[in-house]
Amino acid sequence: MSDDDLVPLFGQMMTRDWAEALIAEQSDTVVRDADGSYVRIPYGSETFRTPIESRNGPCRHCSTIHGKLHSFDCDYEQCPKCNFQLMTCDCEFIGHEWREE
């Protein structure tokens, strides 16, 4: 990997493609299902984790920072409907069929 493939985001260096994916996640603020829309929970506001961790550094799984949204496939993304981990909960959100694979 060349130095050109690394870019700064959220105060840290990461690959350009991962930085672009995290930036795109920030504009996708809700998830939807047949019952309605649910506002996504930013890093540090999860109820199943200690919020102090988010103030000490970036997410260990997706590198987002306190107050920003996780990557959808991050272990720490909390489902705004059932409050469990989004990647393993049973909620079926439109556009998230990849979780069934």
Owning domain of residue 75: 3-96
What pLDDT digit, counting tens, does each position of 53-85 carry? 888 999 999 999 999 999 988 989 999 999 999
Domain membership flag for residue 101: no
Give the pLDDT confidence score for residue 77 in this predicted structure: 93
The SS3 assignment for 33 reads strand
Q: How many domains does the chain have?
A: 1
64 compared with 51, residue with greater pLDDT = 64
Q: Which two tokens stand for residue 70?
A: 């996780």
Q: Is pLDDT of 97 > 70?
A: no
- Percent of the chain past pLDDT 70, that is, above it, reads 91
Domain membership flag for residue 11: yes
CA–chain centroid gap for 18, Å, is 12
